[in-house]
Structure 1
Amino acid sequence: MTATVIPPAPQPVADTPAHRDGNVLRWLGAYTSSMIGDNVYYIALSWAAVQAGTPSQAGMVMAVSAVPRALLMLGGGVVADRFGPRKVVIGSDAVRCAAVLAAAALLFAASPGLWLLALLAVVFGIVDAVFMPAVGALPARVTGRSQLARVQGMRGLAIRFANVVGAPLGGLGVALGGAAAAFGLAGMLIAVSVPLLISVRMKELPAAAADDDAVGDSRGEVAERTPWRDLRDGLRYIRRHPVLAPLIAAIALGDLGFVGPLNVGLTLLADRRGWGASGMGWVLAGFGIGAGTAALLLTVRGRLPHAGRVAAVAILTGSVAIGALAYVPSVAAAVGVALLVGLLAGLSGALCGALLQTQADPAYLGRVSAVAGLVSLGLAPLSMPLTAAAIGWWGTGPVFVTSAAVCGLGGVLVLCFRDLRRAELPR
């Protein structure tokens, strides 16, 4: 008898840890440089607008980019999925770089006034509508599924770093050479991201029905895929998904309850308590440290078990902390509560982002990111003027508690949907 030797089944190859993967680190470097450039750009834009017009006109210039960004965000998700997020991010970063450098050159040569700044803000808003969904879809193409949670943590650290470094760099640019120098610095920082992105290798996507070039209609005929059909397919995919639909709703509730109190609400609270600008700065620093700690935790661990349940508990506990912030007696206590809010909000935000990345089919990630971005950047900021008006009518305590209740509903929603509650991050 001849023994038949059965070769052992091949073992799955483990993904390289994201923090040791040169491909991921190049992407992270490009993302960080672009985000620092964004922060410098906003400092330069606000300074130039204040110098060129009245405070109300400057406010309009700063806000004008939000309109095209909100209106075009869903279309930007379609563009990212149709043409690939890498091409879209490279192209949009190149356009943003060219626009900012052109504005710097014009400001060096003359004083064109508010029209140039408004035009630049509109261009940025249009490009951001394409850039942001593509950025959300890119991580799934540069690393394996088991590393996407760690990448979300690394991305959170990059955002915190950009916020800390970008504002002083922008201020330094303005101090040394005015708004033109700051715009030039922003353009160069954004430009650094382009060659780094070109060097990033993309992974092949698994075959999916969404990648077909044509789909059949109800009569069995084949219809060419159009951008409008892609958008409808993406929205239908999200609506029918047992995890993504409630997850995006929970993100919306969390952002609606969080953005108002931690932005305009905190300013009004500091003013009424007599904490001053320095006190508000310490509270914001506490929040930033907490959020950075949460991002670092996910970066180091790579994943947390029971992601759905942990996200729900973090949202609920964080909402209680938001409500308590209006009743703390001193700046020191407020800093401690803000640190807790940042830690829990950073943890829940990173977990929700990781679940979006891992639950969505990569072929739909641009459209999924667009819907999530529209919720966070289009709907949530609407709560800021409402929060300010409500505090004027009822005071900080009732408004913070109401906002906390809205935020807490997001955690309740996560617990109510079984598939989302039991959702896990891949190993």
Structure 2
Amino acid sequence: MAEMVGYITLPWWIAHQGGAHDLAIYSVSIAVTTIFAMPLLSPLGDRYAKRPQIACGMCALMVVAFILAALVSLSDYRLMLIVCMGMVTVVAKAFIDPASSTISAELVATDRLPKVLRLRKSTQAIGRALGPALAGVTLALGGIAATFWMNGMLLGIAAYVIWQLPSHTQRKEHSRGLARWWCDLRAGLHAKWIVPLERGWTLVNFFVWIFQGPAVGILIPLKVQSLGLSGLWLGVSEAALSIGLLLGSFRGSDALVSRFGRFNVRVGAAMCEGLALAASGGARSPISLILALACVGFANASMGLVGATHRSLAIPQNFRVRILAASMMTTQIAGILGPMIAGAALTRWTVGEVYTCFGFATCLLAFSFVLIPRSREFFSLNHDQVKDWFRREYPHAFSTPPMRESKQTM
């Protein structure tokens, strides 16, 4: 919820003070920083305990929010300082996101992990729905500064909650220099590329997100605008997407898996999400748009939950952050390419036509998941069988070359 408040407030301030030019500079700076920060900092995420990583990252975000609140209160708009604050945010999230995405597998038993991931997805959907509403009300009643102050307080509460998690001591390693960091980074990227299933999964997600990202991002407000609707309908549309996520997170994915199986749900839900996005592009009324976006959210939650549990368990614990960070890096690259393609397409076609094409492209690319080696076999395994599956099936992908180990010892 706090992240969504910041997500709404900062672009709003930049757009009002500096216009589209400043907003473009900020967005590109953050995207480039993210591409490098995620993989470069990921070896540290596998090395140290995840709870302090997440909590310290939250504290850094809190400090950034308070600094921005102070700048707004003083009417001191400086783009370069704001960009620097954004870069600090990216570095903090480079620790928070991979660690928070993988810590569940360390905190709970294997048989409880699917339930925990559903709960996490559900609460994220609730926060995603409440955050923009809370930001909108605070912006209307108290202004931008008040919204930033509230954002900082919410992040402080989140940091406090994180510190209450059980502590899991990470194995200490004495060699922590640059050579060891470089070795860890290469080992993570090597493992991700060597395992055919992980490599194929990442490539499919990369190409899908080029079209899916804009379809659930910048094209939604443009679609609402093209229908001649007010900003209220934009909030309702975003809420519909979150409600769909919520319904899919609670029991929807379980019901589908028990009826059709994990693999079929993973592929089918991804394709249905693309079709629902295409329907959003072709919507002629606000009601049809809202229903289509709710279906998008439901399909996304069903698809994500089926894959998330198996993938978290299959990756060896000491490689989870690095491998997930590499996935996030590819997503960020796709997140840059997607809006560029959408912007070029919008110069020639209408929003509805571009939206529909992006939805069909998402559907077709999602079907390519069936081409990933051993993917059907992987999803047929139960949670006990899939634990550390990558290491068992591809041990050479996670072994450290003896020469490097001897150098580290020396």
Alpha-carbon contact 1:317-1:344 (below 8 Å) kept: yes
Q: Say which of 45, 55, 58 aligns to 1:80.
A: 45
Could you tell which deviates more after superposition, 40-49 or 81-90? 40-49
Q: Map Cα deviations across residues 152-182 of structure 1 (whole Å, 9 max, x no partner).
A: 2222222222222222333344445433322
State the TM-score, normalizing by the size of structure 1.
Answer: 0.78
1:229 aligns with 2:201: no
Question: Residue 106 of structure 1: CA displacement?
Answer: 4.5
1:387 aligns with 2:352: no
Matched residue, 2:307: 352
Q: Which amino acid aligns with 2:217?
A: N
Q: Say which of 43, 66, 81 aligns to 2:8.
A: 43
Matched residue, 2:375: 420
Question: Residue 115 of structure 1: CA displacement?
Answer: 3.8
In 1, the alpha carbon distance for the partners of 2:87 and 2:22 equals 15
Alpha-carbon contact 1:325-1:334 (below 8 Å) kept: yes
Which aligned runs of 4 or more in structure 1 are off by greater than 6 angstroms?
Answer: 211-214, 298-303
Describe the SS at the equivalent of 1:394.
coil
Q: Which 5+ residue runs of structure 2 have no aligned equivalent?
A: 385-410
RMSD: 3.1
Q: Which amino acid aligns with 2:96?
A: F
In 2, the alpha carbon distance for the partners of 1:61 and 1:352 equals 33
Structure 2 CA distance for partners of 1:306 and 1:67, relative to 1, 3 Å: same
Question: Residue 348 of structure 1: CA displacement?
Answer: 1.0
Question: Residue 293 of structure 1: CA displacement?
Answer: 0.8
Q: Map Cα deviations across residues 364-396 of structure 1 (whole Å, 9 max, x no partner).
A: 110122022123333234312321321331344
Question: Residue 142 of structure 1: CA displacement?
Answer: 1.4
Matched residue, 2:398: none
Structure 2 CA distance for partners of 1:176 and 1:292, relative to 1, 3 Å: same
Could you tell which deviates more after superposition, 310-319 or 332-341? 332-341
Matched residue, 2:247: 293
Alpha-carbon contact 1:153-1:298 (below 8 Å) kept: no
Matched residue, 1:374: 329
Q: Say which of 255, 264, 273 aligns to 1:318.
A: 273
Q: Say which of 14, 21, 27 aligns to 1:56.
A: 21
Alpha-carbon contact 1:148-1:358 (below 8 Å) kept: no
Identify, as 1 or 2, the structure richer in helix.
2
Alpha-carbon contact 2:2-2:154 (below 8 Å) kept: yes
User: What percent identity do the matched residue pairs reach?
Assistant: 18
In 2, the alpha carbon distance for the partners of 1:53 and 1:377 equals 25
Q: Which 5+ residue runs of structure 1 have no aligned equivalent?
A: 1-35, 215-222
Question: Residue 292 of structure 1: CA displacement?
Answer: 1.6
In 2, the alpha carbon distance for the partners of 1:419 and 1:156 equals 27
Matched residue, 2:211: 257
In 2, the alpha carbon distance for the partners of 1:107 and 1:330 equals 38
Structure 2 CA distance for partners of 1:410 and 1:227, relative to 1, 3 Å: farther
In 1, the alpha carbon distance for the partners of 2:78 and 2:200 equals 46
Structure 2 CA distance for partners of 1:325 and 1:303, relative to 1, 3 Å: closer
Alpha-carbon contact 1:279-1:331 (below 8 Å) kept: yes
Alpha-carbon contact 2:249-2:305 (below 8 Å) kept: yes
Describe the SS at the equivalent of 2:166.
coil
Could you tell which deviates more after superposition, 80-89 or 162-171? 162-171
Q: Which amino acid aligns with 2:287?
A: A
Matched residue, 2:361: 406
Q: Which amino acid aligns with 1:361?
A: P
Question: Residue 279 of structure 1: CA displacement?
Answer: 4.7
Q: Which has the larger radius of gyration?
A: 1
Query: Size of the alignment, in residue pairs?
Result: 380
Q: Which runs of structure 2 are paired with 1:123-134 in the superposition (5 Å)? A: 123-134=88-99
Q: Which amino acid aligns with 1:331?
A: P
Alpha-carbon contact 2:215-2:355 (below 8 Å) kept: yes
1:309 aligns with 2:274: no
In 2, the alpha carbon distance for the partners of 1:183 and 1:283 equals 24
Matched residue, 2:156: 191
Structure 2 CA distance for partners of 1:174 and 1:66, relative to 1, 3 Å: same
Structure 2 CA distance for partners of 1:276 and 1:425, relative to 1, 3 Å: farther
Matched residue, 2:135: 170
